[in-house]
Amino acid sequence: MTHTRSTSRRILRGSARVLPACAALLLAFALLGCGHAAKSSSGGDTHAADALPTPAGGVVARVGSYAIGAQAFKDAYTEAVAAEPAATRAAALPPSFSSCVARLASIAKALNLTMPSKAQRAAKCRARYEATRDEVLSRAILGLWVAAEAKELGLQVSLGSPDELIGPRLQVESKRLAKLMTHSALAQLGALSRAQLRAYYESHHQLFAVPAQRDVRIVRVAGEDAANRVKHEIAAGKTFASAARGLPRQPQMAVHAFAPRYEWGDFREPVLNKAIFTAKPHVLAGPVFVSALYGYFIFEVLHEYPSYQKPFAQVESKVLAELPAKLRQERLTSFAENWTAKWRAQTRCSPGYIVELCGGAHSTPGGPTSQAADVLG
């Protein structure tokens, strides 16, 4: 599930909106874009949402047999804008956004900021409106997806009157139902058999493989002439530890010039990795030039440890500890994908109210499924 998500992807975690924080007043123009539409300090803009456009038939969107009416949407929009921080409240209402444009001008003046042009303020107001609209609708649609699926599963669903359909009650009820749906989706997992553990082990060998390793004596020397001299001294009987003593910037993983159980990649330099793993054991090798920064390396491979697969008996307890969580995630992901496809196909949105959860709407890859997975937890 990709780990940066929009506020709308956390919509069923509570009825309060999670707002992006304004870093500081000194962020000037950016401050004018922080937050979405909201009522003015006088409270008059709270009722201005009644002026929002009403689609033909008075229905903003349909999810199966459920309809999101224009008034229910306006009420939810009003609640959303009322939650905005007072410092940046501005009623963003289409089509002119005039109140919002004027409000942004007053904010800029009050904070002694450079005044954005009227076109820039209008663009910000439109962005505020669209973000709030999309969040309100996405929250409502996901909640109704839960309710519709729960109803088909035979669960008791209580959403109140049509005018209250997408209010706080839906958020509480859908959260309760989502937990029951998740439990139902996972109920068939049951206890894991040894055959299942073995099958997982066989299909995930890479997780239980031990890579090839080598014991290496190694020393770093800055210059080529000095490196050749050190190699000659080691060949004449001087130990690697003695040769490395007093030389700066020796490999950190080598203690007294000895790196035990060295694996490919322990040293970041590909040239050195390749040299170590292609060298013959008990043969003094180098100097190997790595870079102007790291200089030259002289080394000797003392022992080879070939890669091998840990036997099942040795890792069975590890598989038993890890597999339930993996299977749970796989099951929830599969359920979320099917659930999203099913209800997205049954979601119809009116022009001007299209979000990516609507059937046929453009969406980011995995976006709707990711939002649905968040609801299921």
Instruction: At 205, list the tokens.
Output: 């060998």
159/23 same-domain check: yes
The answer to whether 258 and 217 are in contact (CB under 8 A) is yes
The count of domains in the chain is: 2
Q: Judge if 65 and 162 occupy the same domain.
A: yes
**Which of 6-10, 32-36, 164-168, 261-265 ranks highest by mean pLDDT?**
261-265
H-state helical runs in the chain: 70-82, 98-110, 118-152, 168-186, 194-203, 224-235, 240-244, 270-278, 312-344, 367-376
Predicted local confidence at residue 175, as pLDDT: 82
Q: Is residue 318 part of a domain?
A: no
The pTM (predicted TM-score) of the whole model is 0.56
The answer as to whether 313 is a domain residue is no
**What CATH number has the domain bearing residue 280?**
3.10.50.40
The mean pLDDT value of the chain amounts to: 79
pLDDT at position 224 is 92
Mark whether 136 and 270 lie in a shared domain: no
Same domain (yes/no): 33, 166: yes
Q: Alpha-carbon distance 129 to 38, whole Å?
A: 10
Q: Are residues 294 and 337 in the same domain?
A: no
Q: 174 and 57, same structural domain? A: yes
Residues 66 and 142 in one domain: yes
User: Does residue 193 lie within any of the structural domains?
Assistant: no
- Tell whether 1 is covered by a domain: no
Q: What is the pLDDT of residues 155-202, one digit of tens each?
A: 788 776 666 667 777 878 888 888 887 777 676 666 677 787 778 878
Residue 217 is predicted with a pLDDT of 94
**What pLDDT score does 151 carry?**
85
The predicted-structure confidence for 45-78, as pLDDT tens digits, reads as follows: 555 677 788 888 889 899 988 888 888 888 888 8
In a domain, 96, yes or no: yes
pLDDT (tens digit per residue) in 348-372: 999 989 998 998 888 777 777 787 7
Amino acid residing at 69: G
- CA distance linking residue 90 with residue 35, whole number of Å: 9
HSE toward the beta carbon, residue 36, CA cutoff 13 A:
23
**Residue 284 contacts residue 298 (beta carbons within 8 Å):** yes
- pLDDT-derived band of residue 39, with 50, 70 and 90 as boundaries? very low
Residue 207 lies in a domain: no
User: Does any domain span residue 348?
Assistant: yes
**Domain extent for 232:** 212-306
Q: What pLDDT score does 47 carry?
A: 55
235 shares its domain with 183? no
Same domain for 153 and 70: yes
Whether residues 126 and 43 share a domain: the answer is yes
User: At 43, is the pLDDT very low, low, confident or very high (cuts 50, 70, 90)?
Assistant: very low
Both 296 and 223 in one domain: the answer is yes
Same domain, 283 and 335: no
